[in-house]
Amino acid sequence: MSKDTKKENKNTTKKDEELKEESKLKEKAKKSENKEKAKISKSEKKEAKAQAKLEKANKKLEKAKASGGEKQYAKIKFVATIIAIIIVLGLIAYVTNTIIKKQNFYVQNPLATIEVENFGTIKVELYPEYAPNTVANFIALANNGFYDGLTFHRTIPDFMIQGGDPNGDGSGNATLKDLGQDSDDEYTIKGEFIANGDNDNTLKHERGVISMARSDYSSYSASLATEGYNSASCQFFITTEDSTSSLDGLYAAFGKVTEGMDVVDKIANVEVETREAQTDSSSELTQDRPVDPPVITSIRVETYGINYGMPETQKPFDINSWYMSQMYGY
């Protein structure tokens, strides 16, 4: 083999080795590239997965927010509805009250006509706004004819005239039968005045005011004051002077004379006799019994179509039984 041939073969071998090395390097580079690509792909997958989770979480959050918003809206709507109802009811109450007040402005109070034999007519406007049960009691008795034929059995000039006692001496009460009920039991009504806890009755005992007569048991015992407060039944009085403020808050005033004060004055000044009067726990001489008691021909009350109902009644306090129990223990 020639020298040149050997040299050529040597160069060929060297070139082949270089090609092999280059091939190895390329293959290594390719593997490295593929590995990087794989890493990138894996990273991208993780990122995509994380993105998907994030999107899912966002959807849940949006759903939660939406759900929470609906609940909040529902709550707000409920509260708003309640407030709206309260406002509407308040408006209705206000309008109704306004209408009632306007109606009451035109409603005529009951008007009692008292006919007194040989004296004339007394007209009295009754005030149910001050003493509704007292007014109901007076109307029921009057329109059932209870007062017809009774008298003004007690008259005091410059003070008052008192009437309506079935016994004619200040000791009598009405019975449930007088109210149209099937009972002969006597009854009384609760006193509608401040001392007895009724602060609505602020009517003053001025000249011409009609009020309920009652007993005063406090002279027996201070503990019996309330029993006296609730002892009125049917007797009434009409004041003739303004100087009767000592009665304010202690007696149930329930109306005022609108016509016929001259008749009241004439009755107050009739001739009276001296008598021994029983004043609950004691007796004394007094000049308040008319020699010829003026007779009430009739009392009728015009209610102008309004039904004031029947009065609430109670059993009278038996002072005699109380006295016997205190004195003798029975």
For the segment 16-44, the average pLDDT, to the nearest whole number, is 60
Is residue 156 packed enough to be buried (19+ CB in 10 Å), middle (13-18) or exposed (0-12)? middle
Q: What is the pLDDT of residues 236-245, one digit of tens each?
A: 999 999 989 9
DSSP string, 12-41: HHHHHHHHHHHHHHHHHHHHHHHHHHHHHH
- pLDDT tens-digit profile of 186-222? 999 999 999 999 999 999 999 999 999 999 988 888 8
**Domain locations along the chain:** 22-106, 109-316
Q: At 330, is the pLDDT very low, low, confident or very high (cuts 50, 70, 90)? A: low
pLDDT (mean) for 30-45: 58
Q: Lowest mean pLDDT: which of 147-161, 165-179, 184-198, 269-283? A: 269-283
Whole-model pTM: value is 0.67
Query: Which secondary structure element, helix H or strand E, spans residue 222, and what is its range?
Result: none
280 or 173, which is more confident: 173
Percent over 70 (pLDDT), the chain: 67
Taking 60 as the threshold, does the pLDDT of residue 281 lie above it?
Answer: no
3-class SS shares of the chain: helix, strand, coil, % to 5: 45, 20, 35
Per-residue pLDDT band for 2 (boundaries 50, 70, 90) equals: low
- CA nearest to 190, candidates 154, 233, 158: 233
Of the candidates 108, 107, 316, the residue with the CA atom closest to the CA atom of residue 214? 316
Q: Which residues contact 277 (CB under 8 A, 6 or more apart)?
A: 283, 284, 285, 286, 288, 289
Instruction: Specify the pLDDT at position 324.
Output: 82
Please give the CATH superfamily to which domain 109-316 belongs: Cyclophilin-like (2.40.100.10)
